[in-house]
Amino acid sequence: MPSDVTEPVDFIREIIRDDLQTGRFDRVHTRFPPEPNAYLHIGHAQAILLSYGIAQEFGGKFNLRFDDTNPEKESLEYVEAIKHDARWLGADWEDREFYASDYFEQLYRWAEELIRKGVAYVCDLSPEELSQTRGQPIRDGDRVITPPGVESPYRNRSVEKNLDLFRRMRAGEFPTGAKTLRAKIDMAHPNLNMRDPVMYRILHACHHRTGDAWCIYPSYDWAHGQSDSIEGITHSICTLEFENHRPLYDWFLDQLGVHHPRQIEFARLNLTYTMTSKRRLLRLVQEGHARGLDDPRVPTIAGIRRRGYTPEAIADFVRRIGVSKSESVREIELLEHCLRDDLNRRAPRRMAVLEPLKLVITNYPEGKVDQFDAVNNPEDPAYGTRRVPFSREIWIEREDFMESPVSGFFRLAPGREVRLRYAYLVKCVDVVKDGSGRVVEVRCTYDPVTRGGDAPDGRKVKATLHWVSARHAVDGEVRLYDRLFTVSDPLDVPEGEDWIANVNPSSLVVLTGCKLEPSLAEVEPGERFQFERKGYFCVDPDSRPGVPVFNRTTTLRDTWAKVQGRA
RNA sequence: UAGGGCGUAGCCAAGCGGUAAGGCAGCGGCCUUUGGAGCCGCCAUUCGGAGGUUCGAAUCCUCCCGCCCUAGCCA
């Protein structure tokens, strides 16, 4: 992380600093509370790193807590995946891995307490009835009116009756959905969340942690704030949509008279060319636009990791975007900038020819092999050098040769001299074509005195090409990824049309028979490299011995491509 | 409609009554054995709009406009 940038002081850190100063809290304890019902995505990364980072900065603690209050949607598989991803991102919750389900008994006792206080009651209304009596908006001509809610006929049952019914709910005497426990607050409250919200519902379902111990489950609203309280959380950082719920959480905590964390809401992360909705991601996979939820094009943490992104780049990105309450869409270019910034400093360089074209050096002795020292990372001498073999026949990138060069193209062309990186200056003297007129071989002469790449007479060339010796090359597969969508807002479609139309048909191009320098023969999944002049690449788990598979993480900034794009 | 929230450059974002930071993107140039990296320069007379207070307003007040959230026994 660049040390020349001072840490941003956002409104959240300001509030916390204030709380510490005024004595509202004398310590900082945050948490990340995912529901184990999906994989983490880039948006979660910000939430985790924000809460974890704040705990670190203030010398406090950070918890991981699974809000597992809905057994129908949650599973152990997601728990494990989330832990893995959160750890990969760099978060450390030490031994503080918690579950809302750990608190079911306590939550139950507190519910009875509220019943005894006369501020909670068992209600027999059906979901439809409940929704109608909560005060649904009514259209009145061209206006819409939100009427006050209607009190449930069961609202004034006695404490004894409520206690008895609630205990029988727990005992399993009633079918799923038959009754709820509701907080008795105010059916006319302008905040709909305060209109006697549901605290418990009956759900005869097996929970991934508590099994069949329960058939009533706390609602998120009832479980969440108390879970934070139990854990001694001081600052509950969450996204904007929970702002409306804060008064309810406050109400529960005050009724119970327990430790009262402060909730602070921020705007969730949105990224251009990206969507994170679980439902839509699943559809992309089901319809074959992505190969799985860990496809390198998908913005899940698993996908991003497989693509070759580094946790450091993500952390840098999160730090740079900061936090605010205004809903915004970040440009993916900033994330890519952070990625390149990190990879440029850390990725070892290699030469790889993705779309090979044979180049024969006619005056180079058959059978002779030169060895050149190549720099592993010009940004850091500590990476050292490696030997790269050179011989009479080499592969160069097909796009580095043009038989009739357009203006602005200064790579190889008939009669032109270019440098082969670390090797020699070569001049194109002939072109060999097949029957259809396609160039299949370029013939050059080399200048032996330019060994290493510099001409003693001081003459300059305008281009340096990467290359791989043909007889030493390793064959590999390279998967070229591009944005999954062709437009910055994937959901922006004409009225009545399907957003699937925005999927980029060429978001994946698979190249086989790529020619890699010999040092790339033995690589481990997850290893990252810069292929000089082509971009950053990461070894995919699909690699097999002798046949490495690389994912293109991102291209290098390419001014030539930009010039071409303008033409 | 009610309640809650948000409007500063193409995208973000600092700013907290004293005269618009910074990043990304873009555009020029330098340098270069990666058309990479790096370096230099340019990029808001104005802060959603209109009034008002003030010597002075993006900052304070009033009104207006726009966008988002909630109206699950999801989280």
Using the Cα atoms of residue A355, residue A296, residue A506 and residue A535 in order, give the sign of their dihedral. Answer: negative
Q: Which of A280, A316, A318, A319 is nearest to A298 (CA)?
A: A280
Is residue A86 a contact partner of residue A148, using CB atoms and an 8 Å limit?
A: no
Q: What is the pTM of this model?
A: 0.94
Spatial neighbors of A244 by CB under 8 A, at least 6 apart, are A191, A192, A193
SS3 category, A60? coil
Q: Are strands A464-465 and A417-420 parallel, antiparallel or unpaired?
A: parallel
CA distances from A213 to A104, A223, A487 (A): 10, 17, 49
Q: Among residues A116, A278, A368, A562, which one is catalytic? A: A278
Nucleotides of B under 7 A from a protein CB: 1-8, 10-16, 23-27, 33-38, 67-75
Give, in Å, how far the C1' of B26 lies from the CA of A357: 35
Question: Which two three-digit tokens encode residue A260?
Answer: 């009262």
A358 an active-site residue?
no
Give, in Å, how far the C1' of B14 lies from the CA of A10: 9
CATH number of A278-348+476-566: 2.40.240.10
Burial A513-552 (b: 16+ CB within 10 A, else e): ebbbbebbbebeeebbbbbbbbbbbbbbeebeeeebbbbb
Q: How many residues does chain A have?
A: 567
The nucleotide lying nearest A220 (C-alpha to C1') is: B75
Nearest protein residue to the C1' atom of B25, measured from CA:
A333
The nucleotide lying nearest A266 (C-alpha to C1') is: B5
| A10-266 and A278-348+476-566 share one fold | no
Strand order in the sheet with A467-469: A464-465, A417-420, A425-433, A439-446, A356-361, A393-397, A467-469
SS3 category, A223? helix
Question: Which two three-digit tokens encode residue A380?
Answer: 């850091």
Pairwise CA distance, residues A210 & A231, whole Å: 20
Residue A290 CA to chain centroid, in angstroms? Answer: 15
Nearest protein residue to the C1' atom of B7, measured from CA:
A326
Q: Which of A279, A299, A284 is nearest to A500 (CA)?
A: A284
CATH number of A352-466: 2.40.240.10
The nucleotide lying nearest A140 (C-alpha to C1') is: B1
Q: Which of A147, A360, A120, A137 is nearest to A255 (CA)?
A: A120
Spans of all domains in chain A: 10-266, 278-348+476-566, 352-466
ipTM above 0.90, yes or no: yes
pLDDT in tens, chain A (567 residues): 333 334 558 999 999 999 999 999 999 999 999 999 999 999 999 999 999 999 999 999 999 999 999 999 999 999 999 999 999 999 999 999 999 999 999 999 999 999 999 999 999 999 999 999 998 877 766 667 788 899 999 999 999 999 999 999 999 999 999 999 999 999 999 999 999 999 999 999 999 999 999 999 999 999 999 999 999 999 999 999 999 999 999 999 999 999 999 999 999 999 999 999 999 999 999 999 999 999 999 999 999 999 999 999 999 999 999 999 999 999 999 999 999 999 999 999 999 999 999 999 999 999 999 999 999 999 999 999 999 999 999 999 999 999 999 999 999 999 999 999 999 999 999 999 999 999 999 999 999 999 999 999 999 999 999 999 999 999 999 999 999 999 999 999 887 889 999 999 999 999 999 999 999 999 999 999 999 999 999 999 999 988 999 999 999 999 999 888 877
Half-sphere exposure of A527 (CA within 13 A, CB side): 17
The nucleotide lying nearest A533 (C-alpha to C1') is: B34
DSSP A355-419: SEEEEEETTSPTT--EEEEEES-TT-GGG-EEEEEE-SEEEEEGGGB-SSPPTT--SB-TT-EEE
Strand partners, A350: A531
Angle made by CA atoms A289, A291, A294, in degrees to the nearest 5: 120
What per-residue confidence (pLDDT) applies to A564?
Answer: 86
Pairwise CA distance, residues A30 & A235, whole Å: 6
Residue A62 CA to chain centroid, in angstroms? Answer: 21
Give, in Å, how far the C1' of B45 lies from the CA of A544: 63
Q: For A428-446, give the secondary structure using H, E and C.
A: EEEEEECCCCCEEEEEEEE
Q: Among residues A209, A268, A280, A483, which one is catalytic? A: A268
Give, in Å, how far the C1' of B71 lies from the CA of A302: 35
Give, in Å, how far the C1' of B3 lies from the CA of A240: 15
Is residue A487 a contact partner of residue A535, using CB atoms and an 8 Å limit?
A: no
A268 an active-site residue?
yes
Q: Name the fold adopted by A10-266.
A: Rossmann fold (3.40.50)
Nearest protein residue to the C1' atom of B34, measured from CA:
A533
A105 an active-site residue?
no
Q: Which of A298, A334, A297 is nearest to A316 (CA)?
A: A334
The nucleotide lying nearest A221 (C-alpha to C1') is: B75
Give, in Å, how far the C1' of B2 lies from the CA of A474: 68
Q: What are phi and psi of A553, to 5 degrees?
A: -75, -50
Question: Which two three-digit tokens encode residue A244?
Answer: 């409306």
What per-residue confidence (pLDDT) applies to A311?
Answer: 98
Q: Which of A527, A519, A529, A524 is nearest to A348 (CA)?
A: A529
Is residue A317 a contact partner of residue A335, using CB atoms and an 8 Å limit?
A: yes
